[in-house]
């Protein structure tokens, strides 16, 4: 029964990891680089919410309405003023710039907030749970987070496959030159991708801050988990990313069940095993870039 519990909790956690990955794979699809500051933006969003609640009060839930649009705007300007320039400066530049940005954000947060653990406390919602059987309890917050995460991912997949901006994103991911030749404005598409990426990672950051806790440097782990979910699931569709997130989440919770200190290690090992035996990922789509 403990194992069922571990698997269920892992699935709930994995939905959240998938939400972190969506933006990473979207940006990679359009621009062919991984934003190494991706995780740090989720932590930045969490601190923004923390500050807002401290000053304006109320439940942290309302901060979604403020922080998520803010993150999208930050994403737009980040792309416009920094990443576009880095893309033009050579193949390795976007990696180096975003790594520098990551160090900058982490140390600035450390300077501003100290190295403590912080958390967004939601009152009773933080600990209430539904009883399924005598040994299986589902935390309400965990279930809500999972449902919202999966809904967001599904919505984004629908957006990509059914709407005009989504088609432009996919076209650019498939073949940026051909897309530009047929009239797509590549700068606008890139800014859109980064805005969506930062908005989704901000939602993920707030959820994670509500579920557990965050520190100025926890963005590194968020990035690594997001990356592992993408690779485990396989590039190609957001469903693959969702599956990768779920597998990673289950690996971590089952690992901690075996030995409490080994959860993260178990996740890494599953990732390395996928890398060794199925490097294209579990659900890799043929010829698809997004």
Partner 1 sequence: MSTLEAPVMTNRTVKRYSRNSLGALGIGAVVAAVLVVLPAFVGESSINQLTQFFSFLILAIGWNVLAGYGGMVSIGQQAYLGIASYAVLYLSLHGVLSWWAAPIAIAFCGVLSIPISYLAFRLRGSFFAIGTWVIAEVCLLVVAQIESLGGGAGASLNDLNRFSPNTAGDVTYWVGLAIVLISLASVALLLRSRVGLALMSIRDDELAAEATGVNVMRTKRIAYVLSATICAGAGVLLILSNLEVQPNSSFSVQYSAFMIFMVLVGGMGTFEGPIVGAIVFFALQQWLAANGAWYLIILGAVAVAVTLWLPRGVWGTVDPRNRRSLVPLRHRVSVSATVESGE
103 near partner 1, rule: CB under 8 A: yes
Q: Which of 20, 41, 214, 271 binds partner 1 (CB under 8 A)?
A: 271
How far apart, in whole angstroms, are the C-alpha atoms of residue 243 and residue 171?
24
Report strand pairing: 137-139 vs 129-131.
antiparallel
- Contact partners, residue 163, CB within 8 Å, separation at least 6: none
How far apart, in whole angstroms, are the C-alpha atoms of residue 49 and residue 56?
10
33 near partner 1, rule: CB under 8 A: yes
Identify each DSSP E strand in the chain by its residue range: 129-131, 137-139
Span interacting with partner 1, options 2-10, 64-72, 156-164, 275-283, rule CB under 8 A: 275-283
Site for partner 1 in 173-232 (CB under 8 A): 220, 223-224, 227-228, 231
For the chain, the first-to-last Cα distance in angstroms comes to 38
Q: Which of 69, 85, 147, 175 binds partner 1 (CB under 8 A)?
A: 85
Q: Which of 64, 76, 99, 239 binds partner 1 (CB under 8 A)?
A: 99
276 near partner 1, rule: CB under 8 A: yes
Span interacting with partner 1, options 29-37, 134-142, 180-188, 205-213, rule CB under 8 A: 29-37
288 near partner 1, rule: CB under 8 A: no
Torsion over CA: 170, 173, 178, 182 (sign): positive
66 near partner 1, rule: CB under 8 A: no
Q: Which of 13, 105, 153, 169 binds partner 1 (CB under 8 A)?
A: 105
Residue 259 tokens read as 């030995």
How far apart, in whole angstroms, are the C-alpha atoms of residue 122 and residue 144?
13
Q: Report the nearest approach of partner 1 to the CB of residue 223 (Å).
A: 7
């Amino acid at each position: 029964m403990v194992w069922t519990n571990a698997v269920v909790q892992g699935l709930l956690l994995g939905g959240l990891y998938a939400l972190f990955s969506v933006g990473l794979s979207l940006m990679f699809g359009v621009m062919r680089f991984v934003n190494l500051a991706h995780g740090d933006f989720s932590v930045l969003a969490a601190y923004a919410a923390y500050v807002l609640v401290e000053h304006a009060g109320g439940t942290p839930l309302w901060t979604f309405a403020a922080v998520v649009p803010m993150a999208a705007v930050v994403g737009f300007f980040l792309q416009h003023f920094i990443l576009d320039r880095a893309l033009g400066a050579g193949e390795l530049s976007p990696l180096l710039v975003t790594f520098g940005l990551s160090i900058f954000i982490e140390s600035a947060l450390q300077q501003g907030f100290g190295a403590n653990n912080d958390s967004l406390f939601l009152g009773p919602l933080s600990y209430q749970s539904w009883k399924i059987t005598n040994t299986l309890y589902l935390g309400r917050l965990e279930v809500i987070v999972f449902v919202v995460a999966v809904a967001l991912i599904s919505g984004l997949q629908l957006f990509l496959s059914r709407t005009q901006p989504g088609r432009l994103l996919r076209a650019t991911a498939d073949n940026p030159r051909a897309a530009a030749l047929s009239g797509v404005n590549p700068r606008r598409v890139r800014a859109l991708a980064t805005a969506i990426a930062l908005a989704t990672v901000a939602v993920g950051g707030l959820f994670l801050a509500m579920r557990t806790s965050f520190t100025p440097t926890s963005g590194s782990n968020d990035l690594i988990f997001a990356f592992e979910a993408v690779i485990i699931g396989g590039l190609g569709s957001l469903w693959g990313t969702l599956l990768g997130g779920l597998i990673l989440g289950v690996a971590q919770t089952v690992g901690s069940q075996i030995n409490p200190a080994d959860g993260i290690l178990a996740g890494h090992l599953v990732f390395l095993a996928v890398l060794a035996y199925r490097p294209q990922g579990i659900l890799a789509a043929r010829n698809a870039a997004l």
